[in-house]
Structure 1
């Protein structure tokens, strides 16, 4: 009986961390990857946004705005401070700024 309990305990101690590591290595949603429906790349979206608001791009993420997936391009502009430009990932059109 004690032997069974020891083996079960040992197995648990070895398997749980291994499962956690394996799960952490699973690819999940990435800010860098565009969804399969994206026709506009992150680099194209940055260029489009910089045409609207010149400055330095500090971050790019994909979010859902107004029912559409958009790139949110964060720009640090000398004239306007920090601004966000929303670029539709399917059309490349600017759908808003913040």
Structure 2
């Protein structure tokens, strides 16, 4: 009789609280947030600020590795001068980095 009372009172045998079951999921979400979601949001924010700061005369590199200078720029289209005569049109989102920013606006 004494053994049955001990087993019925043991929380590890199924009598545990709801917090004991939810806590691991909350901790897992917190780890995912701080290790995956938050750094990705910061990276996206810096990329959007870089794309919004583009101006005519900036030397850039596209995602495909093409180097060029911005001749014309609109809200979502950029015209690049690749060499002395070649002009190429790209989406603004295809720009990877700015290698040299121009001083003139």
Could you say which structure has the larger radius of gyration? 2
Q: TM-score, normalised by structure 1?
A: 0.38
Task: Identify the structure with the greater helix proportion.
Answer: 2
Q: TM-score, normalised by structure 2?
A: 0.37
